[in-house]
Structure 1
Amino acid sequence: MKLYSDDELAEKLDTPIFHLVGETADELGLECYVVGGYVRDIFLERPSNDIDVVVVGSGISVAQALKDKLGRKAHLSVFRNFGTAQVKFRQRVEENGTEKPTYKEIEVEFVGARKESYQRGSRKPIVEDGTLEDDQNRRDFTINALAICLNKERFGELVDPFDGIYDMEDGIIRTPLDPDITFSDDPLRMLRCVRFAAQLNFFIDDETFDALERNRDRIKIISGERIQEELNKIMMTRTPSKGLMDLHRCGLLQLILPEVSNLDIVETKNGRAHKNNFYHTLEVLDNVAHATSGADATEMALWLRWSALLHDIGKPKSKRWEQPMGWTFHNHNYLGAKMVPGIFRRLKLPMDMKMKYVQKLVDLHMRPIVIADEEVTDSAVRRLISDAGDDIDDLMTLCEADITSKNEVRKKRFLDNFRLVREKLADLKERDFRRLLQPVIDGNEIMEMFHLTPSREVGALKQALKNAVLDNVVPNEREPLIELLMKKAKEMKLV
């Protein structure tokens, strides 16, 4: 964080767009301020592309006048129902000696200063025109309530009525007004509170956190779409466990993701306790986040993190006490995979291949661990490739993250064996082995040979051929497979 004087802020905003907005507002006799995240990120020395401007008066009129100044290169969108407008245009960037000039897209959102009031059953506010003070009062957190004047006479002047600067210095998330009113009026702000704390690595003010606990039931009026938007942002932070832990401590996680919250239980029997699977899950999630961070992180990084968060959700249903083994969680991966579609549906997460990807990784996450706990055979690795397909590398990342044992000898053994699994995977990929995994005789040919319709018998014969190829019992060639097929058909009394 860096503190700036008003003169230094004027230098930070010394770009054509801010002078043009201020000049336009001056011509209309209106006050205007850049507010919110753009101002916050100046002090936090973070890049920001979201420019929000508050006008004491009509924000739409300033946007329209700015569009006229910019001419055909600008695009204006007006949302009269919300009293907002957006101006988009391309601004030329300094060439820095390059032959071809470059441009960047600029978006400026305009809104008139307003005050809001809420009805208990809705987060849609009743809006009235207001002053800058009214507008800052309605902001969610003090760090988002800062404003910098753009009018010529006061250009660069900071307006910070709630000491948001000091909260940023102290790393605190706090509401400008009574947090109970702030969260009750718009319960989505509770998730935003946790999200900002996770993104900025800040702490939530004690009074504000207590209000999260008191108002948590209000989250029930928020749609799944809005909840998952905030959850996804928390999941993509550097250390997502911080946000998940705050959600759990205040009771929000039990309401929006009870399947994860329910992992926070430890039972003891005959002096033997199982590990706390909630804290284990957070550790696995952080391990995956560390492995999928950085500029090279793909879009699928989010869904790999969701796989980590949900990988053990089947454990409460599968938990059994068995003598002499103790606590067991047999088939928790299978039960967890069955729970994934319901969670995605409830949170309005995509029900397409992204959901199927998460479901597959939850289902398969024990397979590499079983392989790594035994001798790493070609046959076992071939089966894993066949079942995981193109997601094999992500599955291995999840499984390596899942080794959180405090027994360093055991942990090293697993990770060393995982290294062997990866080496075999690389070797098989190099030889294009996946091409050979599907037997050359398919189900249609089997049905034609034995005059069958789609049935359990056809499936059994297909599986017998596939197992033989995977186990390297026979080469993936027609003659030996036909011979094996006839033998199996006789055993099944099909010929």
Structure 2
Amino acid sequence: MLEKIIHEAGGEIYEVGGSVRDELLGHPKKDSDYLVTGIPLEKLSQILRPFGTVTFVGKSFGVLKFSPFNEKGVIHDIAIPRKEVSTGGGHRDFDVSYDHTLPVFVDLSRRDFTINAMAKDLRTGEIIDPFGGKDDIKRKTLRQVFKEAFKEDPLRLLRAIQFAARFDLKIDPETLASMEANAELIKTVSGERIIDEIRKLFLAERPSRGFELMDRTGVLPFVFPEISACKGIKQDKGHDVYEHTMIVLDAAASDHLIQHRGDLELMLAAIFHDVGKAKTARFVPEQKRVAFFGHQIVSKRIAKKRMDALKVTVIGVNPENVLTLIENHMFETKSFYSDKAIRRFVAKTGKDLIMKLVDMRIADNRGGKYPAGVGGVLKLKKRIIEELEKKPPFGPKDLAMNGHDLMEMGIKSGPLMGKVIKGLMELVLDDPGLNTKEQLSALAKNLYKELSS
């Protein structure tokens, strides 16, 4: 439909960017971006409005979103050709303008990499490829379109890294040299933009390749200085802390035993779980080894600071969940825990997070001395699942009575009520059979009496 509307109005429409690349790579297409020539932006908006909702998202850059009435949930990004003109020596010193009369070539010439600088003519199906993107895809090579690509937008440093990791591409030597020369410019990019590229990197089967490229190009100390600081920190596991972290990260991304593989909160926990070791490393003479006492607490503090800076909530991450995984990742894996101990473990972690914590422990084991030694974790996981299926109470919301019931008993809302509820939770964690309104009422009366005296 979109093609017909544009052609009848005297314009030409091209599919551009990632969807063309993905088609040539043999990957499933997701959202499509379009470029329209021959029609001014305002006129294009007027032409499209009878057929759907039109929203300007970057009017100064010549971009709008179009949601067709007859395609529920579909949103097309449509742009007019643009060009950039340098206005100074800085990487931000340029003016952007759009012009519907510009040829497609001009727009493609401002894109980041050759594999993204192709357009598909929707009328003829022809692939317009002025910079050799198709050949680069065949050679599995990532190459910049123009020499100033990284100066113009330093985020392209991370885009190059995540593309190379996700699509298993080697970076062209000239492009790699340009990345190394401009690595420090990544400091000028906002945390929100950085974390979105890290999110895409986490889609790779081996995200560690992206971190290797960050390290090689000099980007890593500016994006994750705490990860860079782990290089060379020796430990008993046979790898230094950085190497161990990379193995854990890859396991979190793709290990078949991990239930939530690729989950963003799990991936961030994998990255940060041992960053505190660089600050807590101490040689213990009597044990003749390096120890990292309390490293999980230090790791949690460092991770919070970095996640705040990166504004991880913009990619749907709850930082508190990540911090819980980091703080508790060293839990014991004894399968002979009593049912009572398992219920308390679940209650402490949270029943919605407990399986991610088990996944975190499996991933951590993969980076240890005995990577196949996950039998204890798997046995404990089975016990946890069995206990969850019994549906015992794990938190105040699971109690058979609530604050309103307690107020009806004459217990006022406040700190004392909180202590009563906490006492009830302790009792039902030991014996879930006590979780009836009748029994809890009697227990609450006794607790209230004891706490009030």
TM-score, normalised to structure 1, is: 0.74
Partner of 1:433, secondary structure, is coil
Q: Which amino acid aligns with 2:26?
A: E
Q: Which amino acid aligns with 1:348?
A: K
Query: What's the CA shift string for 1:427-450, capped at 9, x where partnerless?
Result: 32233333589999999x9xxxxx
**Which residue number corresponds to residue 81 of structure 1?**
60
Q: Does residue 344 of structure 2 align to residue 383 of structure 1?
A: yes
Aligned with 2:393 (options 424, 434, 440): 434
Aligned with 2:208 (options 235, 241, 245): 241
**Which residue number corresponds to residue 228 of structure 2?**
261
Aligned with 1:304 (options 266, 279, 293): 266
- Structure 1 distance, partners of 2:292, 2:108, is 52
Q: Does residue 312 of structure 2 align to residue 349 of structure 1?
A: yes
**Which residue number corresponds to residue 329 of structure 1?**
292
Equivalent residue runs for 1:39-50 within 5 Å: 39-50=20-31
**Which residue number corresponds to residue 379 of structure 2?**
420
Q: Percent identity of the aligned residues?
A: 28
- Structure 2 distance, partners of 1:21, 1:462, is 65
Q: Does residue 243 of structure 2 align to residue 279 of structure 1?
A: yes
- Structure 2 distance, partners of 1:430, 1:42, is 44
Are 1:236 and 1:302, in contact at CA under 8 Å, matched by a contact in 2? no
Rate the CA distance shift 1:478–1:149 in 2: closer, same or farther, 3 A.
closer
Aligned with 2:118 (options 146, 162, 169): 146
Query: What are structure 1's unaligned runs of at least 5 residues?
Result: 1-15, 93-102, 446-452
* Residue 140 (structure 1) shift: 0.3
- Structure 2 distance, partners of 1:353, 1:407, is 31
Are 1:114 and 1:135, in contact at CA under 8 Å, matched by a contact in 2? yes
Partner of 1:225, secondary structure, is helix
Query: What's the CA shift string for 1:57-94, capped at 9, x where partnerless?
Result: 55515623642xxx6332223443222333321557xx
Equivalent residue runs for 1:196-215 within 5 Å: 196-215=163-182
- Structure 2 distance, partners of 1:274, 1:45, is 39
Are 1:59 and 1:83, in contact at CA under 8 Å, matched by a contact in 2? no
**Which residue number corresponds to residue 316 of structure 1?**
278
Q: Which amino acid aligns with 2:105?
A: E
- Structure 1 distance, partners of 2:30, 2:434, is 58
Are 1:266 and 1:273, in contact at CA under 8 Å, matched by a contact in 2? no
Q: Does residue 108 of structure 2 align to residue 157 of structure 1?
A: no
- Structure 2 distance, partners of 1:119, 1:293, is 53
Partner of 1:350, secondary structure, is helix
- Structure 1 distance, partners of 2:257, 2:82, is 39
Rate the CA distance shift 1:383–1:317 in 2: closer, same or farther, 3 A.
farther
* Residue 343 (structure 1) shift: 1.1
- Structure 2 distance, partners of 1:65, 1:134, is 25
Rate the CA distance shift 1:310–1:161 in 2: closer, same or farther, 3 A.
same
- Structure 2 distance, partners of 1:430, 1:467, is 20
- Structure 2 distance, partners of 1:334, 1:376, is 25
**Which residue number corresponds to residue 7 of structure 1?**
none
**Which residue number corresponds to residue 410 of structure 2?**
none
Report the more deviating stretch, 116-125 or 303-312: 116-125
* Residue 356 (structure 1) shift: 0.6
Aligned with 1:53 (options 31, 34, 43): 34
Query: What are structure 2's unaligned runs of at least 5 residues?
Result: 407-413
* Residue 471 (structure 1) shift: 6.8
Partner of 2:263, secondary structure, is helix
Q: Which amino acid aligns with 1:395?
A: L
* Residue 183 (structure 1) shift: 0.5
**Which residue number corresponds to residue 112 of structure 1?**
81
* Residue 291 (structure 1) shift: 4.9
Query: What's the CA shift string for 1:276-308, capped at 9, x where partnerless?
Result: 1112112112112125899x969x921121111
* Residue 347 (structure 1) shift: 0.8
Partner of 2:53, secondary structure, is strand
Aligned with 1:231 (options 198, 210, 217): 198
* Residue 112 (structure 1) shift: 2.5
Q: Does residue 19 of structure 2 align to residue 38 of structure 1?
A: yes
Are 1:36 and 1:52, in contact at CA under 8 Å, matched by a contact in 2? yes
* Residue 249 (structure 1) shift: 1.9
Are 1:33 and 1:147, in contact at CA under 8 Å, matched by a contact in 2? yes
**Which residue number corresponds to residue 161 of structure 2?**
194
Partner of 1:50, secondary structure, is coil
Larger Rg: 1
Query: What's the CA shift string for 1:114-138, capped at 9, x where partnerless?
Result: 2443645454741244543332221
Q: Does residue 384 of structure 2 align to residue 403 of structure 1?
A: no
Rate the CA distance shift 1:422–1:32 in 2: closer, same or farther, 3 A.
closer
Aligned with 2:355 (options 381, 389, 393): 393
- Structure 1 distance, partners of 2:21, 2:309, is 34
TM-score, normalised to structure 2, is: 0.81
Partner of 1:333, secondary structure, is helix
* Residue 224 (structure 1) shift: 1.1
Q: Which amino acid aligns with 2:271?
A: L
- Structure 1 distance, partners of 2:343, 2:59, is 60
- Structure 1 distance, partners of 2:353, 2:46, is 52
Query: What's the CA shift string for 1:194-235, capped at 9, x where partnerless?
Result: 121122221211221121111011111111111111111112
Q: Does residue 108 of structure 2 align to residue 136 of structure 1?
A: yes
Q: Does residue 302 of structure 2 align to residue 339 of structure 1?
A: yes
Partner of 1:75, secondary structure, is strand
**Which residue number corresponds to residue 366 of structure 1?**
330
* Residue 402 (structure 1) shift: 1.0
Rate the CA distance shift 1:193–1:147 in 2: closer, same or farther, 3 A.
same
**Which residue number corresponds to residue 127 of structure 1?**
96
Report the more deviating stretch, 182-191 or 463-472: 463-472
Rate the CA distance shift 1:20–1:392 in 2: closer, same or farther, 3 A.
same
